[in-house]
Chains A and B, each alone.
Chain A
């Protein structure tokens, strides 16, 4: 009896140990299969040069420049070179998170990343990105917009190939500005001729005049811009700040100087004052809300990315096709006109197993031909000087046969001369979060400009100290 019981115990124990071993080994096996897959991957594509076949994995933003790469350029590249590029489209925050986690574990799953340029210092400081200085020829470098290259560079090394730029500019409804009745009313009301505003004062006067008026059956708000907590309100505020000559930090980014800078206080006060002339619910406004308001013709002016004006020219979704024009940011009291720069770049992971192939693809994406191709297919404004004079873009018209599709490009090019990047240091993303909360408090009337900026300074200096 005892022997039977012992035998049963031994059998149970053996089965359990076998199960445990199987479980543990299954983990190892899964890892082995994974590694095998990677090995297979590297052997499965068609090689360029060495005969080795390669599959690249890339992450892009699900914006138009990401979809152009996923749907058109990546398949084209495979046809031309035999190198397959899997392009995943994921949201901005998710890209940022994924990069940090993958880089920390030195993971080689992805070879190429689409970066918001303000991450370049952050990931550049950690040494996670491959320098691309030698990948571009001198001729290429001369053709890229200087500011576009500047914000892709950290520590003296080019860490990303610029893919698209979009400086913040002032949108204005030219149909409204050319309307005879509106012009007459404006003249009698202000004593000024109605024209696209050149200064902050002119713009403010116009915004107050337009707010509450009706045009083409729509009640107007003076202006709209991104104002939601997050990066939205910070990005809009930056265009005010730069045009007022505000410098949020000291030279070496060791101290936040918002509350001690008269320019920053002045810029923030004007921004806060103007928030009263935005549409209802403006505190939640994102890029899409601003675009939708422009498409519906419910705002007279807007601060928005240059590239976004495409959407107002789409007949199916816009009631204002061909109506919107752009001009540079109105100048502040000292005559500075400077919009905030937005730009996305293409970077190669240091942990990629196919660094050379990834560099080749990244550079190919921004060849002269492909820079034009992307712009022509709605993939954002070009990064090369030559693209702005390329007939493919300059000659393209809207379906009405009269209005140039890329009529804004001359302004974009000009705005790129004065645009400024976000504070270019590794802690920028945290700074945006900190400042955004305080700007949100100002726009909701919960804190005064002075108090909010002092709080932002205090919080940011604490971050810097840590």
Chain B
């Protein structure tokens, strides 16, 4: 054993003295110092608030009382998990995210395929398609509210002119959430479309030509060539939309305010409601942490499913 140890240490010494350099060169303090501003900035705007919100979530603290926060351990989390409105908000959020992102993905992918080969006027069309994405969500919410208003809204006016009944898009428990999903799809499909089209245009033309020569049909080319090659851009697009959808707030604020009843009360909306209407900031912090965990879990699950080797 001791001989072996001696041999090993001898080999290390030899390697240090005369062998070729293996691994990265020693870089000194420079690169580390260069990172300091970034790390400080990150610590100030992300790390500290995150840790602070965790500590707040373990207290009882209502902003307007003028009293200091009081440590209560996991009480807020326990209350949340036994609160039916919390579980309703989880359900609403998941329904919103799953349907909105799936529909956006499908439409965006099909549109990207359509624009991939180009057609007369495609550049103008492409610009027009991107317009909804350029609107602020708060403006989209306002437009939706006025357009879908039952008495004076343009959508219902048009429906009535075609003999269709007045419909409460935002005031019905059945229609409110699908309507919000439709608004989200209208606004954010162009974002995925842009990512998918850019990724498709970067595909090597030879692969498509070779597949065609082999007699592959377009559906087969899409399934066997496009999808595997576009795996990463697709995943990035979906993840970005997924994370964004979990945070949906503005259109709810401008349209339904979580109603009717609690049909559109997502977790983000509930966090706002608890945090900034009743100012129970500690409860809102706990809510936020559970939302964060849900987002992390979902994103992780999706990455593992879509890209097993990731």
Contacts and interface: CB of A to CB of B under 8 A. Distances in A.
Interface of A: 5-6, 8-9, 12-13, 15-17, 19-20, 23-24, 93, 96-97, 100-101, 103-104, 122-123, 125-128, 228-230, 279-284, 289, 292-293, 298, 426-427, 429-430, 433, 436-437, 440-441, 444, 446, 463, 466
Contact of B34 (A16, A289, A437): A16
Contact of B63 (A101, A444, A446): A101
Contacts of B36: 16-17, 19-20
Contacts of B260: 229, 283, 440, 444
8 contacts: A12-B31, A16-B36, A23-B37, A23-B41, A125-B65, A126-B66, A281-B166, A283-B172
B170 interface: yes
B149 interface: yes
In the A-B complex, the 9 residue pairs with the closest CB atoms: A281-B150, A12-B30, A229-B259, A16-B33, A126-B66, A9-B28, A283-B171, A430-B278, A13-B33
B297 interface: no
Contacts, number: 128
B250 interface: no
Contact of B278 (A433, A440, A441): A433
Contacts of B30: 8-9, 12-13, 16
Interface in B290-309: none
Contact of A284 (B33, B34, B168, B258): B168
Given A16-B36, A19-B36, A125-B66, 19 more contacts: A9-B30, A12-B34, A17-B33, A20-B37, A100-B63, A100-B279, A123-B64, A126-B64, A228-B259, A229-B257, A281-B149, A281-B166, A283-B260, A426-B64, A427-B278, A429-B278, A430-B277, A433-B278, A446-B173
Interface string B164-187: 001010111100000000000000
Contacts of A100: 63-64, 276, 279
Contacts of B288: none
Given A126-B66, A279-B151, A96 B277 contact: yes
Contacts of B273: 433
B40 interface: yes
Given A122-B64, A229-B257, A97 B276 contact: yes
A281 B151 contact: yes
A280 B31 CA distance: 66
A3 B151 CA distance: 81
B152 interface: yes
A311 to B, nearest CB: 15
Interface in B15-60: 28-31, 33-37, 40-41, 60
Contact of A429 (B31, B40, B172, B277): B277
Contacts of B149: 281, 284, 289
A427 B277 CA distance: 10
A441 B66 CA distance: 34
A293 B151 contact: yes
A411 to B, nearest CB: 27
Nearest to A17: B33
B261 interface: yes
A426 B259 CA distance: 24
Nearest to A13: B33
Nearest to B33: A16
Contacts of B152: 292
A176 B190 CA distance: 51
A126 B66 CA distance: 4
A466 B256 CA distance: 28
Contacts of A97: 276
Contacts of A127: 66
Pick from B30, B40, B173, B262 the residue with the most CB of A within 10 Å.
B30
Interface string B231-269: 000000000000000000000000011111110000000
A103 B64 contact: yes
Nearest to A232: B257
Interface string B186-219: 0000000000000000000000000000000000
A298 B150 CA distance: 14
A444 B261 contact: yes
Contacts of B65: 125-126, 426
Pick from A123, A281, A282 the residue with the most CB of B within 10 Å.
A281
A285 to B, nearest CB: 9
A298 B63 CA distance: 44
A41 B258 CA distance: 42
Contact of B151 (A17, A125, A126, A280): A280
Contacts of A441: 261
Contact of B261 (A8, A13, A437): A437
A228 B253 CA distance: 13
Given A8-B30, A433-B273, A20 B40 contact: yes
A441 B151 CA distance: 21
B114 to A, nearest CB: 37
Contact of B277 (A9, A23, A93): A93
B256 A229 contact: yes
A284 B64 contact: no
A296 to B, nearest CB: 9
Contacts of B35: 16
B203 to A, nearest CB: 41
A24 B259 CA distance: 45
Contacts of B79: 466
Contacts of A229: 256-261
A104 B61 CA distance: 11
A115 B262 CA distance: 28
A123 B65 CA distance: 7
A23 B40 contact: yes
Contact of A125 (B37, B64, B150, B170): B64
Contacts of B277: 93, 96, 429-430, 433
A343 B270 CA distance: 28
Pick from B170, B173, B258, B261 the residue with the most CB of A within 10 Å.
B261
Nearest to A8: B30
Given A8-B30, A280-B166, A433-B278, A289 B151 contact: yes
A29 B172 CA distance: 53
A279 B35 CA distance: 63
Pick from B168, B172, B260, B280 the residue with the most CB of A within 10 Å.
B260
A402 B271 CA distance: 53
Contacts of A433: 273, 277-278
A26 to B, nearest CB: 11
Pick from A125, A280, A429 the residue with the most CB of B within 10 Å.
A280
A432 to B, nearest CB: 9
